[in-house]
Amino acid sequence: MREKVRIPAVEEIETKDRKKPSVAPQDYEPFAADEDLVPPMASFGDGYRYHVTGLFHDETGFPHGKAEDADRLGRRLHQKIEGNRDEIVEYESWELEDAEIAVVAYGSVTRSALTAVKAAREEGIKVGLLQLKTIWPFAQEEIKELVNQVDKIIVPELNLGQLIGEVERLSNLEEQVVGINRIDGELIKPATIIEAIKEGSESNGDFR
Amino acid sequence: MEILDSFRTDKFPHIWCSGCGHGIVMGALVRAMNKLDLDHDKTVIVSGIGCSSRATGYLNFDTLHTTHGRALAFATGIKFSEPELDVIVITGDGDCTAIGGNHLIHAARRNINITTIMFNNSIYGMTSGQYSPLTPQKAKATTAPYGNIEPNFDPCELVQGAGATYVARGTAYHIKKLTRFIKRGIEHNGFSFIDAVSQCPTNFGRKNGFKSAVEMMQWQKENTITIERAAKASEKEVKNKILVGELHHNNRPEYTANYEQVIEKAQKGGDN
Ligand code: SF4
């Protein structure tokens, strides 16, 4: 399978430089964070001569084998992600405004899911698609909205059920969330998803 | 420049055992850098994981203590983005030839201007003495209590075969030579590899009948032969001896310079 990739022109790409330290090298603590929990970072070669390690470290960047250092660092990194949820979480949605059924997809199954949703719409079924592009932090708010809006959520996955657990824990209705799972090396076909969309909806006049 | 300026003295004492060869090898590196009068603000030292790789914490430069085996991968990124920086890699025999074996081969193949010093004590010291690819066959290790059944190999031949353009071997015992080789390696424009034979009395020596670090250095003296002497010696004299010296030196285009040309070409908007 081949398809086109569009590479944006240089002018379209926004460059965001890291925050640089404003203090003198001898006062620099490379892992002392500002209020936004992001520490200003000097580049190697700038004259700050600092140390970066994969070991748990304190604000100076050096490891001391202290549990409280590890705890503080782990929590800051976690908070930094959690606090910037809105900027990190990426998703795309199709036809969800009036949807009564939703497909939630992550990764390559999105292709089949989108084809299925479009085909079902042609037939007048009110179905939409939420494609998750990030998996953590989880698109909690978006999924919560969805469980309150639709009657059924279909989660197609090329495994025996991973993402579905995250969706299920936000649902209060029994059997609201159904999975389509395939692990035989073949892709999930749009027809299979269309089938799942239609299942149980035939008798329901509201869908048409 | 004072030698002590190269150290973060507030980080001492170091973590190494008494008698460990790694301090000697680190000393050789610092002396070599000092002789070259390298700009401390424009020199980056990168290490992997293991006893040897802790050296970066003690050196007063921009230093990066990476994940196991990946020092060369990180160093390649640094050199690629800022080619004017001198980039030096500190790694151990396990870090470099097992976990990081592929990075080693391809750094050599690309001939990127990085100097790699492999602190070679023939064992995974930090994790208590598992055998590495450079543990001699039949030597004992915690994971080879009946003797290592795997043959070791010569990393200098490996990198030379892969395309490194400066290859040398020294030992903690041959400290002057080692210092000289490191200096030449840094001066050389291309991928330089220095095998620095070191001793781990704690996790190699004790298991293999060495009573002290001194005995291990004595071993380094007696079981090595310089390439100059080897050239004149009989086959019998050379047999089973470890070669010490500048093993290989040539010149071919350097990776970041080649890349610079690509950037120029692309920016001119010419044909590719
Ligand atoms: S375990 Fe071996 S290599 Fe590690 S510090 Fe001790 S002597 Fe040196």
Task: Note the pTM of the prediction, 2 decimals.
Answer: 0.91
Cα distances (Å, whole numbers) of residue A80 to A74, A91, B40, B208, B249: 10, 20, 33, 50, 49
pLDDT tens-digit readout, A143-153: 999 999 999 99
Distance of CA A105 to the CA centre of its chain: 11
Structural domain boundaries, residue B175: 19-268
The residue to which tokens 């080897």 are assigned = B230
Asked if residue B195 is part of any domain, the answer here is yes
Q: Max alpha carbon distance in chain A (Å)?
A: 74
Say if residues A83 and A37 touch (Cβ distance below 8 Å). Answer: yes
Question: If pLDDT is split at 50, 70 and 90, which confidence band does B1 have?
Answer: confident
Q: Do A54 and B62 touch (CB under 8 A)?
A: no
Say how many domains are in chain B.
1
* CATH class held by domain A88-202: alpha beta
B17 ligand 1 Cβ < 6 A: yes
CA distance B53 to chain A (A): 11
Q: Do B65 and A53 touch (CB under 8 A)?
A: yes
* CATH number of the domain that residue B179 is part of: 3.40.50.970
| pLDDT at site A206 | 43
Question: If pLDDT is split at 50, 70 and 90, which confidence band does A1 have?
Answer: confident
Asked if residue B244 is part of any domain, the answer here is yes
The single-letter code of the amino acid at A44 is F
* Averaged pLDDT, B119-138: 98
pLDDT of A184 strictly over 60: yes
A-chain residues within 8 Å CB-CB of B39? none
Asked if residue B1 is part of any domain, the answer here is no
The residue to which tokens 């080693």 are assigned = B104
For atom 1 of ligand 1, the residue with the nearest CA is: B125
* Averaged pLDDT, B139-165: 98
The dihedral through the CA atoms of B255, B53, B174, B125 has a sign that is negative
B123 ligand 1 Cβ < 6 A: no
CB-count burial class (<10 Å; 0-12, 13-18, 19+) for A73: middle
The CB density around residue B114, as the number of other CB atoms within 10 Å, is 28
pLDDT tens-digit readout, A45-97: 999 999 999 999 999 999 999 999 999 999 999 999 999 999 999 999 999 99
Asked if residue B14 is part of any domain, the answer here is no
Where are the domains positioned within chain A?
A: 18-83, 88-202
Pocket of ligand 1, candidates B14, B15, B20: which has the most ligand atoms within 8 Å of its Cβ, to mutate? B20
